[in-house]
Amino acid sequence: MGRKANSWATATALMVAALGVAAVPADASTTVTARATACPTGWGSQAKTRSAATTESVTNIRTGRHTCFDRMVVDVPGADSGELGYSVQYVSRLHQDGSGRPIAVGGGAVIEVRVAAPAYDPATGKPTYPVQAGQRLKGVDLTGYRTFRDARFVGSFEGDTQLGLGVRARLPFRVWTADGRIVVDVAHNWTGAR
């Protein structure tokens, strides 16, 4: 009788264990993994360019903090996504187009952002984004950002607008466009960890 009870107890324990495993949804491990991972990787830190031009003008530059990256948005209202050209790359020193004047940008590394759109009205020459060369971007406060350290207006010359973005270190970034804006996202790290 002792041997039968022992076998019955073992069988019951195995059945409970099997039912317990079966009761866990098949996608539970996927859900947990998706929540734990999340930040994209593979952006790289090489130059990113797109040849295009618009007759519309830069009117605003803004930034935002996100879970995986810090973001800069250059607003060019009226421009279609396909008309927006750019050149975004890390540089050792930043020099203003036309004059060659050096522009100091704080941070462990500097990204030069060139937008193929003027920061002035081409017909009148009147500024559409009125900030002097070397000044911080108006309305941009980088307090509390994990990656961004400094953001400067470099100038607008012959239809291009030049910006300096100081970041903590050389980190991966991506550039993308949508109607009316160019977006630069710089990751918080290389590993994709939050």
The pLDDT tens digits of the residues spanning 108-162 come to: 999 999 999 999 999 999 999 999 999 999 999 999 999 999 999 999 999 999 9
User: 194 pLDDT band (50/70/90 cuts)?
Assistant: confident
Query: Would residue 194 count as lying in a domain?
Result: no
The pTM assigned to this predicted structure is 0.80
Do 84 and 180 fall into the same domain? yes
| Distance of alpha carbon 137 from alpha carbon 19, whole angstroms | 61
Q: What is the pLDDT of residue 72?
A: 98
- Average pLDDT of the chain is 85
Do 120 and 81 fall into the same domain? yes
Do 56 and 32 fall into the same domain? no
> CB of 10 within 8 A of CB of 2?
no
- Does the structure show a pLDDT above 50 at 11? no
Do 61 and 146 fall into the same domain? yes
Q: What's the longest Cα–Cα distance across the chain?
A: 102
- Does the structure show a pLDDT above 50 at 84? yes
- Does the structure show a pLDDT above 70 at 22? no
Q: What is the pLDDT of residue 166?
A: 98
Look up residue 76 and give its two tokens. 């060019």
> CB of 72 within 8 A of CB of 133?
no
Do 59 and 18 fall into the same domain? no
Lowest mean pLDDT across 29-33, 41-45, 136-140: 29-33
| DSSP H/E element including 24 | none
Total domains, the chain: 2
Query: Would residue 156 count as lying in a domain?
Result: yes
Query: Would residue 13 count as lying in a domain?
Result: yes
- Does the structure show a pLDDT above 70 at 90? yes
Do 146 and 183 fall into the same domain? yes
Look up residue 117 and give its two tokens. 């759109």
Q: How far apart are the first and last CA of the chain?
A: 58
| Distance of alpha carbon 160 from alpha carbon 85, whole angstroms | 9
User: 36 pLDDT band (50/70/90 cuts)?
Assistant: low
Strands 148-157 and 69-75: unpaired
> CB of 156 within 8 A of CB of 118?
yes
Do 29 and 74 fall into the same domain? no
Q: Which domain holds residue 12?
A: 2-36
